[in-house]
Structure 1
Amino acid sequence: MKTRMFWSMVGYTAVLGASLLTRHTAREAYRKTAGTAPPENPGRRDTRWREALAWGVASGALVGVARVVGHRLGDEARRRGERGRARKRLKG
C-alpha cells in the first residue's frame, strides 16, 4: 500500500509541475504576442471581452493538455515501478 501511495504522489507532482510550467509559459507567450500581460481578472470591466476569452481559451487548453500529459507520465512511472518490483519477486 505504501508503494501505491508513493506512485500516486509522483503522479500528482508531475501533474502539478506540468500545470505550473504550462501556465508560466502561456503567460510569457501571451505577453510576447499581445505586447501586454494577460488579464489578471478577466471579469473586470476594463478587460475587453476578446482579451478575456482569448486568454481563457488558450490557458485552459494548454493547462488541460499539461494535466493529461502529467497524468500519463505519472501512470507510466508507476507501472514501470510495479513491473520492476514484480521482476525482483520472480527472481528472488
Structure 2
Amino acid sequence: MKSQTLWTLVGTATAAATGIAMRQAMKKTFRHGVFEPPVNPDRDDVEWRQAILWGAASGMAVGAARIVGWKVASAGMRRTRRSRRGQRLLARIEDQDH
C-alpha cells in the first residue's frame, strides 16, 4: 500500500469519526439546552427557525470537527514517519503491496 493511500485512509477515517462524534454531541447538547433537533426538517411541525439553527450549528460543528480530525491524523502520520519504529511499520505496510 502506498504511503499516500495509507494517509488517505487514516485521514478520512479520523475525519469521519470526529464528524460523527461531534454530531452526536450536538444532538445531546441541543436536547438539554435549546430544543429537540429535527429528524426531518421538511416536516410541517418543524419551525423554520429550528431547522435553520440546527443546520447552521451542526454544519459548523461537524465541519470544524472534521478539520480537527484531519489535523490530528496528519500530526500522527508525521510522528510515525519520524520514529524508527514507525518507519519500519510503514515500510512493512508498503512492502505487503508488492
TM-score (norm 1): 0.81
1:11-60 CA distances to partner (integer Å, 9 max, x unpaired)?
111101100110000000000012x4200111222210110111011100
Tell me the CA shift for residue 88 of structure 1: 6.1
Which one-letter code corresponds to 1:63 in the other structure?
V
Give matches, 1:11-22, under 5 Å: 11-22=11-22
Change (3 A) 1:56 1:2: same
Question: Does the 8 Å contact 1:7/1:77 carry over to 2?
Answer: no
> Could you tell me which residue of structure 2 aligns to residue 84 of structure 1?
83
Tell me the CA shift for residue 10 of structure 1: 1.6
Tell me the CA shift for residue 67 of structure 1: 0.7
Structure 1: 5+ residue runs without aligned partners? none
Deviates more, 1:55-64 or 1:5-14: 5-14
Distance 2:87 2:27 in 1: 45
Distance 1:40 1:88 in 2: 46
Cα root mean square deviation, aligned: 2.1
Distance 1:6 1:81 in 2: 12
Distance 2:87 2:57 in 1: 45
Distance 1:77 1:41 in 2: 37
Structure 2 residue 26 is the aligned partner of structure 1 residue 26 = yes
Distance 1:28 1:47 in 2: 18
Distance 1:20 1:88 in 2: 31
> Could you tell me which residue of structure 1 aligns to residue 44 of structure 2?
45
Which one-letter code corresponds to 2:75 in the other structure?
E
Distance 1:59 1:70 in 2: 16
